[in-house]
Amino acid sequence: MNGETGHVTGTKDKDYNLLWYVEACLSNALRMETYLKDAERDGDDEVAELFRKAQADSRKGAELGKQLLARRLSGTGTGSTDTGTTTGTSTGGDTGCGEGTATVPGEAAGTGGSPAPAGDPGALPQDPGTP
């Protein structure tokens, strides 16, 4: 689909995408909890650590997304070139909670330390159903 589809949802695409990203990160953090418990139950510390890191990255992505949403909803940082800084705890690794290659607005790419583990790369997820 080409062009803005916000007339269908009543929400601009970029705003919808931000909302979707936060929900995806939160959902992924919950999913990682299940995976983490499975790995711990099986005594697989290596896999458990992977899921622990992935969960932390998902929480960080959700937090950054929520902060950006809050700024947008309060009327600050509404420009398309918003480069405001965000506060929050860094877990190492890039911010993200799914598959994709984009970085979170307001955070310089590659500033998070070591790359995120495979299966939860430090990038914004790409929703195939989103225009």
Secondary structure in 3-state letters for 47-59:
HHHHHHHHHHHHH
For 82-125, how does the pLDDT look when each residue is reduced to its tens digit (9 = 90+)?
Answer: 444 444 443 444 556 654 433 344 433 333 333 333 444 344 44
| Model pLDDT, residue 115 | 37
pLDDT at 51 over 90: yes
Kindly state the average pLDDT of the residues 76-83: 52
Rounded to whole angstroms, the Cα distance separating 88 from 67 reads 9
| pTM, full prediction | 0.59
